[in-house]
Structure 1
């Protein structure tokens, strides 16, 4: 359903040619399954612009963002027109911060929140994916694809369940979780 001329359905799955070796830096992703975003701040990973510096820094960074209401987002970012004829839809949400944001080139990067597993380990849950936003200036906001809206599609394509109970059974040893292929 994705079209380059519109800013909807901005999500993709990639099939890899071989299994990925999991290690301390690479692990399987868990998905935030609630229809709403978490109350607390979320972390965006990408080549962000801390403090809105004009100098692009090619180092992967982490910024803290909170959801912004659709109304407030619409005051900063035009949420209508040719590319968004239906405005912001339920499969999207806005997030931002006063002094940091994701920037150009970060599209597809995760917006996540951490939760404790049954064994106490903290794991990231992907809430959204960077879709588009304003330029990296003070007061900028980003629009994110709400991953939970695509849970059924992801399960259908991957043939794997992302139900929390199924994932908890694999949580004691993350290497036994869903395989990346």
Structure 2
């Protein structure tokens, strides 16, 4: 950063290992391109999306493949699939990989803290109306706990 952050709002976001099913509201934040080709944003972008069930996701990926957009197979035990309700025009793009997929309390109607449930992985660039794929934290809970424990970090339940 060019200058120190003098704001009390930043805080650590909890890792959340709960299984996320279909129809859940999640938020993705990232620094990816605003369009392809396009510019890198000068502000962190936020997009509220809904998760998709395995069958709906696989159908969306097959449709993309039929449109000459090849992809790897979908593995719903490892991947969390999302799509914006508007479809095309809203989604992940180049540079968003590695960004957080979060549960945000005000979107869910509860007062729990913000938590990370996934990490942006891959998709069909950019926001073409096809599913976006994210790595589920729940799949890697044991590995993450062991890895972090070696650095003295204990993840709360």
TM-score w.r.t. the length of structure 1 is: 0.62
Partner of 2:80: 93
Note the aligned Cα RMSD (angstroms): 3.4
Q: Is the 8 A contact 1:30 1:125 kept in 2?
A: yes
Q: CA deviation at 1:132?
A: 0.1
Q: CA deviation at 1:135?
A: 1.4
Gaps of 5+ in 2: none
- More displaced stretch, 146-155 vs 24-33: 24-33
| Alignment counterpart, residue 56 of structure 1, candidates 39, 42, 50 | 39
Partner of 1:142: 132
How do residues 1-181 of structure 1 correspond to structure 2 at under 5 angstroms?
24=8, 26-37=10-21, 39-48=23-32, 55-58=38-41, 59-78=43-62, 84=72, 87-97=74-84, 98=87, 99-115=89-105, 123-159=113-149, 160-164=153-157
Q: Is the 8 A contact 1:48 1:101 kept in 2?
A: no
**What secondary structure is seen at the aligned counterpart in 2 of 1:77?**
helix
Q: Is the 8 A contact 2:33 2:94 kept in 1?
A: no
Residues 45-75 of structure 1 deviation map (CA, whole Å, 9 limit, x = unaligned): 013566x686434231100111112222223
Gaps of 5+ in 1: 1-20, 165-181
Aligned residue pair count:
138
Residues 28-53 of structure 1 deviation map (CA, whole Å, 9 limit, x = unaligned): 22012212348541110013566x68
**What secondary structure is seen at the aligned counterpart in 2 of 1:123?**
coil
Q: Is the 8 A contact 2:23 2:53 kept in 1?
A: no
> How many angstroms apart in 1 are the aligned matches of 2:83 and 2:49?
5
